[in-house]
Amino acid sequence: MRRLPFYYGWVVVAVTFVTMAIGVNARTAFSLFYPPILSEFGWERGITAGAFSFGFVVSGIMSPLIGRLMDRSGPRAVMELGVALMAGGLLLAPLTKEPWHLYLTIGVMVGAGSVCLGYSGQSFFLPNWFLRRRGLAIGIAFAGVGIGSVTLLPWVQHVIEQAGWRTACTAMGLMILIVLAPINLLLHKKPEDIGLRPDGEAAPSAAAAKPVSNIVDPVWAGTDWTLRRALSTARFWWISLGFFCGLYVWYAVQVHQTKFLLDIGFSPSVGVWSLGVVSLLGIPGQILLGHVSDRIGREWVWTASSLGFAICYATLIALKFTPSLWLVYFMVLTQGALGYGLTSVMGAVVLEIFQGRHYGSIFGTIMLAALAGGAAGPWATGLLHDITGDYTIAFVIGIMMSVLSAVAIWFAGPRQIRLVAGQLHRLKAAKG
């Protein structure tokens, strides 16, 4: 391969950025297709919205399978499978005449494709490309979701208004094929596959001083971690618990905050604005917290993000008694700028504990727990509202789940296996 004037890992980051911007928001666009589909067919809301929820179930089932495919065939196979599934689902969705058509296209095909193209699929391989700047690189790549939400979704809404939801679906499907299919051919699983080293560093010469290893626990790091072995460790289950709780609180507030704000007297424009600004604030939040995690450790950033969600839920409770616009601003800030930082360290947490040939299978199985949390959060929050008549108890549980998520990642302890670049001085001091 011809050498570039910069590290090829940044090409991987750029491809991931574009893929996330289009792939994740193509699934999110269902919320824009939902009203015109309801209007056209007159189906019950629950049946129609069930297509999106069913897609979440399919995502969870697919995650471990995609991990195995990543281990065997690498990211190009996984990403192109995702492109084929998602584009196929969106191109076939305009043929919908019965609810099951929607479940097959938007649910099964787009849902399965989103696992490949979204947070899970990218986290299978992107962390391999960086060591010292792993958090920063992932934060930049995942910020594509926020950029896509403020550029792509308004365009989709415009197409719907001008030409209908079918044309918008077709346009999205064609965009995925035309843009994502070719650029994902540029991906490789790890830098060693093309003769490079993580972070683009040159191979050390015989005369050079041996670099300080970031390994704290050589026995653990030297183990060939298969999925079976990982399942027998407490760390695997602590990570799974942390990820379950993390996505529980993320999706619970994302789904219910707009309705809550409307219920306590805010205008629809405030509800829509608050949801959009959360995604916008997530862009610098993910990049900054990813960078900070390279300096102080993954546990601290996961804790900061969990704290962001806990403060967000506490602010929502306060809004019930004091419906102030300033409190809405504060809720949005803590949720977007802090809470969304979770995604910048998810892949790194698992990789730094279970690095090896079977990382994809292990991460994919852990993401099954994470996606279960993402599905459980909105459902449990809605159920608690129906039982109690308001959201207070559900939001208190959100605070408790945020705390539990942070505690679980500390117990998993990636710092006890491998240190981040900013903490290597501890090893140097210990050996000196």
251 or 47, higher pLDDT: 251
B/e letters for 269-307, b = 16+ CB within 10 Å, e = fewer, are: eebebbbbbbbbbbbebbbbbbbbbbeebbbbbbbbbbb
Average pLDDT over residues 251-277: 85
At 302, the amino acid letter reads W
| C-beta of residue 229 within 8 angstroms of C-beta of residue 358 | no
Among candidate residues 292, 381, 369, the one with its CA nearest the CA of residue 64: 369
Region 9-17: mean pLDDT is 96
pLDDT, one tens digit per residue, over 23-65 is 998 888 877 887 788 888 888 866 777 777 777 778 888 888 8
Rounded (10°) angle between helices 392-412 and 343-354 = 30
Averaged pLDDT, 369-394: 89
Per-residue pLDDT band for 109 (boundaries 50, 70, 90) equals very high
Amino acid, res. 393? I
Q: How far apart are the first and last CA of the chain?
A: 40
Q: Which residue has the tokens 């195995």?
A: 68
Task: Report pLDDT for 7.
Answer: 93
CA dihedral sign of residues 26, 54, 121, 243: positive
Nearest to 148 by CA among 21, 275, 54, 8: 21
Residue 331: its pLDDT value, please?
96
Give the side-chain half-sphere CA count within 13 A for 127. 27
Confidence band for 375, pLDDT divided at 50, 70 and 90 = confident
The whole-angstrom separation of Cα 84 and Cα 405 is 35
pLDDT at 139: 93
For residue 374 the two structure tokens come to 């993402």
Tell whether pTM > 0.95. Answer: no
Percent over 70 (pLDDT), the chain:
95
Q: How confident is the model at residue 204 (pLDDT cuts 50, 70, 90)?
A: low
Q: Are 299 and 415 in contact (CB under 8 A)?
A: yes
Give me the mean pLDDT over the 391-408 stretch: 97
pLDDT reported for residue 120: 85
**Radius of gyration over alpha carbons of the chain, in Å?**
22
Using CA atoms, how far apart are residues 371 and 53, in angstroms rounded to an integer?
Answer: 11
Question: Per-residue pLDDT for 88 more than 80?
Answer: yes
- pLDDT value, residue 408: 98
